[in-house]
Chains A and B, each alone.
Chain A
Amino acid sequence: MAMIDPDRGGPAQPLLIARDLRKHFKVKGGAPGAVVRAVDGVSFNVFKGETLGVVGESGCGKSTLARLLLHLIEPDGGELVFDGDPVGEIRGISVNALRRQVQMVFQDSSSSLNPRMPVRDSIAFGPYVHGKTKAEAGRIARDVLVKVGLKPDLFGPRYPHELSGGQKQRINIARALAIEPRMVILDEAVSALDKSVEAQVLNLLRALKENFNLTYLFISHDLSVVRYISDRVLVMYLGAVVELGPVQDIFSRPKHPYTTALLASRPSMDPARRIEEPPITGDPPSPINPPSGCRFRTRCPHAEAVCAQTQPVLGAWNDQDSHIAACHMQVPESGHSLAIRTH
Chain B
Amino acid sequence: MDGGVVPTLAPALVSVEDLTVRFVTRDSTAHAVNGVTFSVRPGEVLCILGESGSGKSVTLRALMRLLPPGKTRISGSITVDGQDVLALNPAALRRLRGGLVSMIFQEPMTALDPVYTIGDQIAETVMRHKGVSKTVALARALELLELVKIPSAASRLNNYPHELSGGLRQRAMIAMALSCGPRLLLADEPTTALDATVQIQVLILLRKLQKEMGMGTIFVTHDLGVASEIADRIAVMYAGRVVEEGPVADVLANPLHPYTRGLMASTVHGQDRSRDIDAIPGSPPDLRQLPPGCAFAPRCSLAAGECLSAVPEPRFPAPGRMARCVRLGVPAFA
Residues of A within 8 A of B (CB): 57-58, 164-167, 194-200, 202-203, 206, 221-225, 227-229, 247, 261-262, 265-272, 274-284, 286
Contacts and interface: CB of A to CB of B under 8 A. Distances in A.
B279 A278 contact: no
Given A196-B262, A200-B266, A265-B199, 17 more contacts: A167-B283, A195-B51, A195-B224, A195-B263, A196-B280, A197-B283, A199-B280, A200-B279, A202-B277, A203-B279, A224-B268, A225-B268, A228-B271, A228-B277, A266-B225, A271-B231, A272-B249
B195 interface: yes
A58 B199 contact: no
A153 B327 CA distance: 36
A196 B51 contact: yes
B168 A283 contact: yes
B168 A271 contact: no
Interface in B173-232: 195-201, 203-204, 207, 222-226, 228-229, 231
B40 to A, nearest CB: 17
B223 A271 contact: no
A278 B200 contact: yes
A283 B268 contact: no
B26 interface: no
A268 B199 CA distance: 13
Interface in B227-257: 228-229, 231, 248-249, 252
B284 to A, nearest CB: 8
A200 B281 contact: yes
Contact of A196 (B223, B228, B263): B263
A224 B269 contact: yes
A195 B266 contact: yes
A286 B200 CA distance: 20
Given A194-B52, A275-B204, A279-B197, A228 B225 contact: no
A246 to B, nearest CB: 12
Instruction: Tell which of A194, A196, A223, A272 has the most Cβ of chain B within 10 Å.
Output: A196
Contacts of A272: 249
B27 interface: no
Instruction: Tell which of A57, A166, A276, A283 has the most Cβ of chain B within 10 Å.
Output: A283
Nearest to B251: A271
Contacts of B52: 165, 194
A274 B229 contact: yes
Nearest to A228: B268
A272 B270 CA distance: 18
Contact of B266 (A198, A281, A283): A198
Interface of B: 51-52, 151, 165-168, 195-201, 203-204, 207, 222-226, 228-229, 231, 248-249, 252, 262-263, 265-271, 273, 276-281, 283-284
Contacts of A195: 51, 222, 224, 263, 266-267
A192 to B, nearest CB: 9
Nearest to A224: B268
Contacts, number: 129
Contact of B195 (A58, A165, A198): A58
A39 to B, nearest CB: 18
B263 A223 contact: no
A262 B197 contact: yes
A281 B165 CA distance: 13
A269 B280 contact: no
Nearest to B271: A228
Contacts of B198: 57, 283
6 contacts: A195-B263, A206-B276, A229-B273, A265-B200, A269-B269, A284-B195
Instruction: Tell which of B166, B167, B200 has the most Cβ of chain A within 10 Å.
Output: B200
Contact of B228 (A58, A269, A280): A269
A202 B228 CA distance: 24
A270 B64 CA distance: 31
Contacts of B224: 195, 269
Contact of B197 (A167, A200, A261, A277): A261
A272 B201 CA distance: 18
Contacts of B265: 199
Contacts of B51: 194-196
Contacts of A271: 228-229, 231, 248-249, 252
Contacts of A266: 196, 200, 225
A57 B252 contact: no
Nearest to B286: A164
B229 A221 contact: no
Contacts of B200: 265-267, 275, 278-279
Contacts of B278: 199
A267 B225 contact: yes
B201 to A, nearest CB: 4
Contacts of B229: 267-268, 271, 274-275
A40 to B, nearest CB: 19
